[in-house]
Amino acid sequence: MNMKKTALAVLAFGSSAVFAGAMGPVCTPGSVTIPCDRSGWDFGIQALYLQPTYKGNVYLTNFVNAAGVTNWHDLDPDWGWGFKLEGAYHFNSGNDINVNWYHYSKTTNHTVLIGDADVPVSLSTQLKPKWDAVNLEFGQHVDFGEFKNIRFHGGVQYARISNDYYDNITGTTPTERIRTKYNGFGPRVGMDLSYDWSNGFAVYANTAGALLIGDSTFNTTTLGVIDPAGISNGSNTIIVPELEAKLGAKYTCALAQGALTLDVGYLWQNYFDAQSFLTATRVGDDTDFGLQGPYIGIKYMGYV
């Protein structure tokens, strides 16, 4: 009788072990590490192909067609080229100090109809947006297992944004003008997420945000198109939040004393309520200033 009970107990234990084993392998978390000590410099350049975007009262002129429908004209900025220059010093266990500069400037010219279908008037317009941003970043590289890594960074940003708008009745000399400027400085934080394969290819998603404080100024001259004839100007100190994101892919080629990286991706960036204006009769509004578009770049990393 005792032998029978012992046999049943052994069978029960064996069957439970079989069922437990059928659940599959147990997942083991990957290790979180930082790179070994290494020093070096990198220098990079990117070509940006961007289009500005605006939010707010940017419909300055309109045309009423024969059906009595009012069509408002937006600013419709053209795509244009810009650049990014950067340099960094790498030291200790995955630390770096990076300085980068973004620049964009493009002039857009349009001819639109204003007034109404009975007496249409041809209006020539010109828009000149300009953007510069300088970032100082202190970074820390962290590896999450064999393929994944994140670079956490914090620092500061200085941004300068200006927009000049001109219009005049086609064939005439007098010109209306709206000019807006913002200069801001403040803290900035972000992280660069990357998934790397062993063959040199990688995909990444980068994001960052800043909180800038600075002066926003404007001056306007209107002659009866946007608003009755008048001159206005103003200035105030405002806080502007900024958000940016990038998605891209890169290929790194190892060299004898460093590495060369080819980088392609897409950029989204927005400064909230960074531009404002009011004409003499209070026509105007706050507007975001954003940029979006593809880019391609190259970077050289040299070890010392």
299 in any annotated domain: no
Predicted pLDDT of residue 28: 61
11 in any annotated domain: no
157 in any annotated domain: yes
Q: Which of 48-52, 169-173, 195-199, 238-242 has the lowest mean pLDDT?
A: 169-173
Predicted pLDDT of residue 113: 87
Confidence of residue 29 (pLDDT cuts 50, 70, 90): low
Q: How far is CA 61 from CA 73, 124, 212, 226, 284, in A?
A: 6, 11, 32, 6, 12
Q: Could you tell me if 274 and 236 are in contact, meaning their C-beta atoms sit under 8 angstroms apart?
A: no
Alpha-carbon gap, residue 185 to 60, rounded angstroms: 30
Total structural domains within the chain: 1
297 in any annotated domain: no
DSSP label at residue 228: S
- Non-local (6+) Cβ contacts of 184 within 8 A are 158, 159, 212, 213, 214, 240, 274
pLDDT per position as a tens digit, 257-285: 899 999 999 999 999 999 988 887 777 77
Q: Could you tell me if 100 and 135 are in contact, meaning their C-beta atoms sit under 8 angstroms apart?
A: yes
Chain-centre distance for alpha carbon 67: 41
Residue 194 domain boundaries: 31-287
Predicted pLDDT of residue 116: 83
Look at residue 3 and tell me whether its pLDDT is greater than 50.
no
Q: Return the bridge partners of 159, or none.
A: 133, 184
Confidence of residue 58 (pLDDT cuts 50, 70, 90): low
26 in any annotated domain: no
Predicted pLDDT of residue 117: 81
Alpha-carbon gap, residue 270 to 291, rounded angstroms: 6
Average pLDDT over the chain, rounded to an integer: 88
Alpha-carbon gap, residue 136 to 183, rounded angstroms: 16
pLDDT per position as a tens digit, 108-158: 998 888 888 888 888 899 999 999 999 999 999 999 988 999 999 999 999
H or E segment and range at residue 19: helix 2-21
CATH number reported for the structural domain that contains residue 120 in this entry: 2.40.160
Look at residue 181 and tell me whether its pLDDT is greater than 60.
yes
pTM of the model: 0.87
2 in any annotated domain: no
294 in any annotated domain: no
pLDDT per position as a tens digit, 166-178: 989 877 777 899 9
282 in any annotated domain: yes
